[in-house]
Amino acid sequence: MLVFKTILNTKKQRRKYNGNKCGLIPTMGSLHKGHLSLIEKALKKDDDIWVSIFINPTQFNCEKDLKKYPKNFDEDLKKIKSISNKINVFLPTESEIYPKKIESSKFNMNNLNNIFEGTHRPGHFEGVLTVVSKLFKIINPNNAYFGEKDFQQLFIIKNWQKYKSIPVNIIASPTIREKNGLAMSSRNCLLSKSIRNEAGFIFKSLSECKKICSNGNEIKQKLLEDFNKHMAFKLNYVACIDTNSFLEINEFKKFKESRLLISASVEGVRLIDNIALNN
Ligand code: AMP
């Protein structure tokens, strides 16, 4: 496993293996089985595999959230090495990625940046696209791997790639969960043990909604009732969307592909999750 801290050396290394199929897994570190599942997927498809670990400041709209974001670089490297020794890691500093000013570029996201997660985290998706576009330019991958857990992020990246004809395949991967159903997230370690256990109700509730509810209003009603039983948890939003347009819908059964998106906060930590409604 090789670790690169500079853009110059990363580009040099990439040039050596230019003919190989390159896969990139962008992460912010504190790796868990969700991240590792993306790496495993890349190992099956690509020859030159790059994991980037960079806590991207521009995608945090709140300084406090950025400061408390978990950092476990040594552990991360051990985990990557335990999967395969042939993975390259790009571990840049902030000034390497943002040499002049820590700020986002401008992107036209057709208003997708102003709904759901975007409403609660202004500037978040601009920050995400800024760092992803920088990483694509540095590593120049054939394939880039993203998790369905961040469903709106995945949709925005796919749309941007398509709209700008960026020559990278965006490959989506399903959400990996803790035993109790909670979607794995680097932020889960910020939760107390009891709340982390209790948080399993969110996915249980989403799964029940899928089973018994026949429209968005029923889903919202059921989730409100379920959240009322878990007073420490605040429901930020819940929405059924048409997966093709990302527009909110009520009669989701009429749509070929629809998803239920949810965000909740507990102990100062934001949790997001989603479930496909029609499969
Ligand atoms: P992050 O380090 O949170 O920026 O995540 C890096 C990548 O891993 C993103 O594409 C996420 O969607 C993906 N990811 C995060 N959590 C999970 C999970 N539980 N299952 C699958 N993918 C995940």
Please name which of 177, 169, 170 lies closest in space to residue 146, comparing C-alpha atoms: 170
CB of residue 185 inside a 6 A radius of ligand 1? yes
Ligand 1 atom nearest 37 alpha carbon: 21
Ligand 1 atom nearest 146 alpha carbon: 10
Give pLDDT, residue 89.
Answer: 98
Please name which of 156, 108, 165 lies closest in space to residue 132, comparing C-alpha atoms: 156
Tell how far the Cα of 38 is from the centroid of ligand 1, in angstroms.
Answer: 8
Q: How far apart, in whole angstroms, are the C-alpha atoms of residue 43 and residue 86?
A: 9
pLDDT in tens, the chain (279 residues): 999 999 999 999 999 988 899 999 999 999 999 999 999 999 999 999 999 999 999 999 999 999 999 999 999 999 999 999 999 999 999 999 999 999 999 999 999 999 999 999 999 999 999 999 999 999 999 999 999 999 999 999 999 999 999 999 999 999 999 999 999 999 999 999 999 999 999 999 999 999 999 999 999 999 999 999 999 999 999 999 999 999 999 998 888 899 999 999 999 999 999 999 987
C-alpha pair distances (Å), 26 with each of 53, 171, 225: 7, 12, 37
Give pLDDT, residue 107.
Answer: 98
- Whether 35 is catalytic is yes
Ligand 1 atom nearest 31 alpha carbon: 2
Give pLDDT, residue 266.
Answer: 98
Other Cβ atoms less than 10 A from the Cβ of 232: the count is 14
Please name which of 120, 130, 125 lies closest in space to residue 156, comparing C-alpha atoms: 125
CB of residue 151 inside a 6 A radius of ligand 1? no
